[in-house]
Amino acid sequence: MFRFLRAAEHLRSRQVSNSLVSPAFSLNKAGQFPTQSITPCAGFSSAKYVRQSYQDSRGYTHFRKKGTASFGAALQDPRKLAFAGATLAMGSAAYLYNLETVPVTGRTHLILLSKESETYYGERAYAQLREEHKSEILSSYHPAVRKVERIGRQLIQHLPETFPGKGAAHLSEVEWEFTVITSPQINAFVLPGGKVCVFTGLMQMFPTDNELATVLGHEIAHVVARHSAEKVTNEIFFTMLKIALLVLIDFTSVISATVAIGLELPFSRRCEHEADLLGIQLMSAACYDPRVAPGVYSKLGQAENGQKEISKYLSTHPTGDDRAEKLNEALPSALARFSASGCSEYHGTLLDVFRSHATQFASKPTVTDDEFKN
């Protein structure tokens, strides 16, 4: 009651016009408050156009904007339902028309961004990156750059045979470039249009050709699967979904968090797993030993240890252990491709060969009789 009286005084003193005040708080002609009971907060009333209000700690009354007050009321509003329905229908039609298929995994995904636009945005981002890091970019004569170029070009050469068919038709227009940045960061990424960037910190952590081929294969695979274009497309869809939901429910932050945790983060993690799977096939075709790949991601996982549980659910990347597990499952098909590639030259060093066999041996709990005979 005390708060209510203070609010009344506040409204009187400021001579707030009756038209700006909700009916429950309006003054009568004599300048007195009506005697009927007053509900300070309307809450989730189903009444149409209820103007909700609440009091702050100082007793002042604030009004929320006009609108339907509940999800149930929104469902009974034909205009809002029609708008939400039309948005979803248009989205569904666009979705079906622009589906593409990712090689190897066979996953169908929606791509609304043209190849030209993808290339344009990639080149713009690449120019900006070169400007921002110009003092840290190594020259093309530097041994680290030559190493990345050598392995990267070897992988690219094997793209057509690894990913034949329509799903990878866009690759013929990609102009690949490899950049090495001097930085202790353990990082590598690819920009749309085939601009691969590697940090020297990562190269120090993964010094062998097979390990670096695992990382580069992964980055190249993002371009193969057009993940950037898919991400832009999904952002358009997520925005449309948010708009459709916002018409029905006025909880912006809840919707944003729900869409991020429920849709956007799992999408990013799925892209990472997919790039791992495509990458291991590509490195196998290019004669880099795929048995090294699970170890690369385990090592990365150890580097980010400590935040593992948080990153599993709230990170854009899956944990290193998850990635290693999925790659171990994919090893038989990758090894079959490695054997069938008929490589005249094995690109790994002797140390790689030793490590691969040591890892393979250590991962087997026992040697069966049949294996012993072979």
Residues annotated catalytic, as ranges: 219
Q: Least distance in Å: CB of 64 to Zn ion? A: 43
Q: Which is nearer to Zn ion, 275 or 293 (CB)?
A: 275
| Secondary structure in 3-state letters for the chain | CHHHHHHHHHHHHCCCCHHHCCHHHCCCCCCCCCCCCCCCCCCCCCCCCCCCEEECCCCCEEECCCCCCCHHHHHCCHHHHHHHHHHHHHHHHHHHHCEEECCCCCCEEECCCCHHHHHHHHHHHHHHHHHHCCCCECCCCCHHHHHHHHHHHHHHHCHHHHCCCHHHHHHHHCCCEEEEECCCCCCEEEECCCEEEEEHHHHHHCCCHHHHHHHHHHHHHHHHCCHHHHHHHHHHHHHHHHHHHHHHCCCHHHHHHHHHHHHHHHHHHHHHHHHHHHHHHHHHHCCCCHHHHHHHHHHHHHHCCCCHHHHHHHCCCCCHHHHHHHHHHHHHHHHHHHHHCCCCCCCCCHHHHHHHHHHHHHHCCCCCHHHHHC
Q: Least distance in Å: CB of 42 to Zn ion? A: 48
Q: Least distance in Å: CB of 236 to Zn ion? A: 21
Q: Least distance in Å: CB of 222 to Zn ion? A: 6
Q: Least distance in Å: CB of 117 to Zn ion? A: 21
Footprint of Zn ion on 1-30 (CB under 5 A): none
Interface region with Zn ion, contact rule CB under 5 A, candidates 194-202, 266-274, 305-313, 319-327: 266-274
Interface region with Zn ion, contact rule CB under 5 A, candidates 237-245, 264-272, 299-307, 354-362: 264-272
The residues, ordered by sequence, that sit 6+ positions from 360 with a Cβ below 8 Å of its Cβ are 291
Q: Which of 184, 185, 188, 156 has the alpha carbon at shortest distance from 172?
A: 156
Q: Which is nearer to Zn ion, 187 or 359 (CB)?
A: 187
Q: Which is nearer to Zn ion, 10 or 231 (CB)?
A: 231
> Are the C-beta atoms of 349 and 355 separated by less than 8 Å?
no
Q: Which is nearer to Zn ion, 272 or 322 (CB)?
A: 272
Q: Which is nearer to Zn ion, 167 or 279 (CB)?
A: 279
Angle (nearest 5°) at CA 183 between 179 and 185: 105
Q: Least distance in Å: CB of 211 to Zn ion? A: 15
Interface region with Zn ion, contact rule CB under 5 A, candidates 25-33, 75-83, 96-104, 267-275: 267-275
Q: Which is nearer to Zn ion, 288 or 297 (CB)?
A: 297
Q: Which is nearer to Zn ion, 61 or 228 (CB)?
A: 228
Footprint of Zn ion on 269-288 (CB under 5 A): 272, 275
Site size toward Zn ion, by CB under 5 A: 2
Interface region with Zn ion, contact rule CB under 5 A, candidates 33-41, 265-273, 276-284, 347-355: 265-273
Q: Least distance in Å: CB of 176 to Zn ion? A: 16
Binding residues for Zn ion (CB under 5 A): 272, 275
